[in-house]
Amino acid sequence: MMSINTNPSLYRYLIFIFLISLSITNLNAQDFPTKPINLVVGFGPGGNADIVARLLAQKMSENLGQPVLVENKGGAGGLLASELVAKATPDGYRLSLVSGAFPTQAAVISKLSFDPMNDFSWISTVISYPMVVVVNSESPFMNLQDLIKYAKDNPRKLNYPSPGNGSLFHLATEYFSSSAGIELTHIPFKGGSPQLNELLAGRLDVMFDTLAVVLPHLNSGKLRAIAVTSEKRMSQLPNVPAAAELMPGFEAGSFLGIAGPRGLNQDVISKLNGSIRSVASKTDLKQKFYELGGEVWVGSPKEMGDYIYKSTQKWKRVAQEKSLKFD
């Protein structure tokens, strides 16, 4: 059998081919993008994630000179979208809008079709936002202390909803109940609208959700906010205390960010990260995010990866304490 070591011509030829391939790859990365980019959103149109994705896509299209198209791939709490991007060609033309559901699913779902820590190239976080703890306006609980006191005296008598087992809102409420030393009864729903309607009808006791979802009902007087889950009070709700004021160290927020499949070229990652940084600095986008109850939060690819890893470990601890595991 002929070996490379005994055939210098073949060796030089292979090196030449490798260098040509490397040059073409680098050239393609420098020219990126040369065609439309698909941003895959794991939820249906009209929700928080979809709204943020479309705002961001419009600005990035202008910045990159190519259309950034939102592709809604709903189902399984965002897992179908994550799987689609994890298995995509790593060329930067199919990206994922990663949500706060991603690390909770990584923490509690035992069988995934992809590796949440290793099958993605992190690009940047985009927005962060806390949750608002709300009750029906007819509820006897005027503040968080009232609710906690009643729950301690009446274990599991109070119920709360979530858009599904293992969702961020499920684990965040379980984290809250652990921190407060109380027990609540979980009622899972399929999606967010049914649970909101049940709370408005007075058939649910307390709910954790985003400001964008609950704000119209706070303004109409149908719901009452008794806490927010950020470390400090939200400027949008300055009179609503942070849960951390009663339980020091408590924090449970969500986020949205952008990722691609594993193996994405570093130059492509840098170009996408730079685009996000540029558009996120625009005043109009900051204002839109503020109206959605969040704030611009752009970081490096490493910072995004570190945040997702730490969040996953946090939710794993909550899941283990509460014996939560799903197939």
Class of domain 132-245: alpha beta
Joined together, the tokens standing for residue 211 give 């400001």
Give residue 14's pLDDT: 60
> Which bin fits 46, alpha (ψ -120 to 50), beta or left (φ > 0)?
left
pLDDT tens figures, 182-238: 999 999 988 768 899 999 999 999 999 999 999 999 999 999 999 999 999 999 999
> Cα 240 to chain center, whole Å?
24
CATH 3.40.190.150 in the chain, residue ranges:
32-129+254-322
User: Is 90 exceeded by the pLDDT of residue 245?
Assistant: yes
Joined together, the tokens standing for residue 322 give 């509460």
pLDDT tens figures, 145-166: 999 999 999 999 999 999 888 8
CATH 3.40.190.10 in the chain, residue ranges:
132-245
Class of domain 32-129+254-322: alpha beta
User: Looking up tokens 């890893």, which residue turns up?
Assistant: 309
Residue 54 burial (CB count, 10 A)? 17
pLDDT tens figures, 251-310: 999 999 999 999 999 999 999 999 999 999 999 999 999 999 999 999 999 999 999 999
First-to-final CA distance of the chain: 50
